[in-house]
Structure 1
């Protein structure tokens, strides 16, 4: 059975040893250098919990920028950090793949171009990227979600490439996926609200099944490919080990990208392919 057949059947692929360990280490070192140079004038906390999702301007204008987002558990009640800055961040987003040469090189390889074509993207565009820290002890839980909720096209074409830069285990908050769940249909969209801020627009109120998720424990260098409609999640990291990962989300340029999507890019930096 081909990779495309596997992907169509279960909605995800797990491809071990897709990236050399040295490339993982180089990306981690570059992320550490970016964090070192980050002086937090604006504190933005990233969460996937709907009732507390940050919709501030720092977040909403990050589609064509390199921005830094803190963990919910990083701060003391008085607003000071509980630990060092480098151990307090949730992620960096959302245009690393366009604005940083090393991240661009990592994200744009012949192997990834071939894989995106194999999985059906006719005009692949790299729309969004995130460096995810999943910090020791405070790495937050990510609720079950579909990537097409946040990166919607008509028809849905979102494709996620998630790279394990360190081993991902049950203890440090590995991914969980619902095999075949990409066939449940898109449940909601995350859009810019007419009066400012953001909102979830419900498309189908039928809940996603809570049972049947499987853990994706993977080794460093593994690529996990996620269908945009696939429900997936990750648990909190309560272990002393981090779980660094890097993800790139692609869409098909042949599809329509609605203006009310939360992620906007300037006309000077439209999404581009490989």
Structure 2
């Protein structure tokens, strides 16, 4: 079985690569943006024509949430056109697509975890382009798994965990937003879940939610990072209004994981247990 992973230099693809030795029965093909530009339809179709691909895991995305507000065309090209190109190529080639999306398709007005059928209403360009990417995939074929995730971090790439640890080396005090709530997701857990979906191979296509268990604020997350690393630093809880950003963010984006647990028999660790693992792997 040949598995194509786009966005090869990102943290999720890097986590999949770290786990591939557990899946020797598969042939993993990693492609970065320079090796396979998913925004270029002819390049995508040519690649699929010349290679037999059973599954495509689309880890490629424009994820710079604030920069997307001013780089709308680039975000649109990657998150919408890129997703559509892969969907079209998968459809023609009889391949299955696993596409990673985001909690930012919701506006955060809920007071309970979002399930897959809840109404979407993104607040920013990033969320809007990711939602349209989902819709383009769904318009072209049925053999897709769209996995919405949230607050992705790992020992690889740029993320909140690594930012907090970096800031702690130069600061004695830090302010962290305390009125935005969600669920951190250890990218290694998400990678494991994606590979389990492929292994189960039950064709239970559709939209799924995956993050670690628990609902916390960014302030809670930062505090846990420093506590687990035994770093002494003063953390000041601040409001969203105290820390204005170009992109508006949902105040609450906790995801309901019941569907993915039941469909693929997935175990979802708590955010704190997974954070401990990530820190051990740093």
TM > 0.5 between the two? no
Bigger helix fraction: 2
Q: Which has the higher contact order (CA 8 A, sep 6+)?
A: 1
TM-score (structure 1 length as normaliser): 0.25
Higher share in strand: 1
Greater radius of gyration (CA): 2
